[in-house]
Amino acid sequence: MASHLALCLLAFLVTPSDAFWRMPCASPVVVERSDPIINPGAVSGHTHTIMGGNGFGFAMTYADTQASTCTSCIVTKDLSNYWVPQLYYKGQDGTFTSVNQQGGVVVYYIQRADPLDPEYSKGLLAFPPGFRMVAGNPFLRSFNSSSLEAAAITYNCLGTNNPQTNGFPNYNCPGGLRTQVFFPSCWDGVNLDSADHKSHMAYPSQTDTGHCPPTHPKRFISLFYEIVWNTPDFANKWYGNKQPFVWAMGDDTGYGYHGDFVNGWDVPTLQKAVNTCTDDSGVIQLCPVFTLQSDAAQQGCKVPPAVHEQVLGTLPALPGCNPVQSGPANAVPKSGCGATTTIGAPIWPYTDVTKTKNFKYIGCGSDPAGQSRTLTGASKTDASGMTVESCIDFCNSNGYSIAGLEYTTQCFCGNSVAADRAPVSGRVGACAMPCSGNSGQVCGGPAMLSLYQKCSSGSCTNIKYVSPSPPNKGHANTTSDTPTIPDPECP
């Protein structure tokens, strides 16, 4: 035992201060007004884009994360959730249009410690089960240069040589706007959360470097988010003398950006990576501890939204009660605007036609670009009138038992789906594009097919992804017993 601990300590001591890995998460699992840290069991005040495990819900425990059947991140043993507010463009006409992310998020795990840390000799820790934290303040509308927390929020205007800023840059970013948040890494060693979701943590003396205070002696591996937003989509739509972007909570300064984290790691896996994956290139493939998955597998991991409102596209107002408040005083929470506060039934990405067409939804399959079609029978395209019903009618009338809708306008027919193209059990999939003839229906996605199959004699039932969720969860998740978490391999 003593020799094992000695080896663990040696692994820490030889870790370079800048050793790290970048963990990409290819897409959000859901975008909606949900925040189980700040507003557990209720609709959140503003919209978030959420990455990670599909166990995400409106109220969460560690067991909920472990009930995930997939994750939108590359490491299969990480069922954590990572989220930030959604970005919008404010038009000159007063409307708000959601800005697309380039993928999801890149999460940096940085093995950074300081010899002056109170418990430096004990090494870096993995996050324990049940741990969660928040970085940033959504109500800030001005910058306090003496605040370690304020310094943790930064913006990088890609495609320029300009230095990073702490608020929105007031110029176009040809390569997109990269938003960044650094989380505190010093822990009090006792509490997994706190009333303000921050006090159990502290920043080191220089925000992203330096030593921990004596009140928070234990040091976690450092967490840092990067998200790139497709702001060049709006490069020709600037007006006036001020940048046109606004966060979901009505922040057009950028100072209110924030991030949330709920730990869902298999803790021994993370601790082993902290101790042994000491390469300083950031390339996650160089860490043999992790089992990695493809982009397609990440993108197919989704959670059905449960707040029945539009949060993407062009909107007359920001979701929730979020008028733009420019400061410099802190923003004041608003209510009474008529926005829904109800968690509804999950909105699954299919249309129930079991009774009207005798076809059942069997899931979201793939139709890889540059390869032979998944469904090789008859096909048609309808730029303005494609619906689930019209595609099913077309395939049925041509003698086919499977109808597949793709990329808003396309309909393909066949009688079978190859196993490597079939929907993946337990995953909602990346079918999310509206049909050209009915925006309330889903017609596949890029290289993805919404698949419907003719029912044989007997019952006609759509696919059931998961078991019913507990009250106030708001999302349907698989259930499992609380796992037994072994002690980390090293302290």
Q: In the chain, what percentage of residues exceed pLDDT 90?
A: 88
Find how far residue 132's CA is from the centre of its chain: 15
pLDDT tens for residues 33-71?
Answer: 999 999 999 999 999 999 999 999 999 999 999 999 999
pLDDT tens for residues 172-202?
Answer: 999 999 999 999 999 999 999 999 999 999 9
pLDDT band at 426 (very low <50, low <70, confident <90, very high): confident
Q: Determine the pLDDT at residue 312.
A: 93
Alpha-helical (H) ranges within 84-175 are 148-151
pLDDT band at 468 (very low <50, low <70, confident <90, very high): very low
Q: Which residues contact 453 (CB under 8 A, 6 or more apart)?
A: 359, 360, 362, 401, 402, 403
User: Do 145 and 164 form a contact (C-beta atoms < 8 A)?
Assistant: no
DSSP three-state, residue 97: strand
Model confidence at 477: pLDDT above 80: no
Q: Determine the pLDDT at residue 424.
A: 87
Q: Determine the pLDDT at residue 466.
A: 58
Give first-to-last CA distance, the chain, whole Å: 12
pLDDT tens for residues 321-358?
Answer: 999 999 999 999 999 999 999 999 999 999 999 999 99
* Integer Cα distance of 75 and 298 in angstroms: 9
* C-alpha radius of gyration, the chain, whole number: 24
Q: Determine the pLDDT at residue 12.
A: 35
- Which two tokens mark 359? 């076809």
Model confidence at 430: pLDDT above 70: yes
Model confidence at 472: pLDDT above 60: no
- Which two tokens mark 101? 């992310």
Mean pLDDT of the chain: 91
- With residues binned 3-state (H G I as helix, E B as strand, rest as coil), the percentages for the chain, rounded to 5, are 10, 25, 65
**Beta strands at 402-406 and 410-414: parallel, antiparallel or unpaired:** antiparallel
Model confidence at 484: pLDDT above 60: no
Rounded mean pLDDT, 3-23? 53
Point out which residues pair with 251 in neighbouring strands. 247
pLDDT tens for residues 73-131?
Answer: 999 999 999 999 999 999 999 999 999 999 999 999 999 999 999 999 999 999 999 99
Q: Determine the pLDDT at residue 65.
A: 97
Model confidence at 14: pLDDT above 70: no
Q: Determine the pLDDT at residue 220.
A: 98
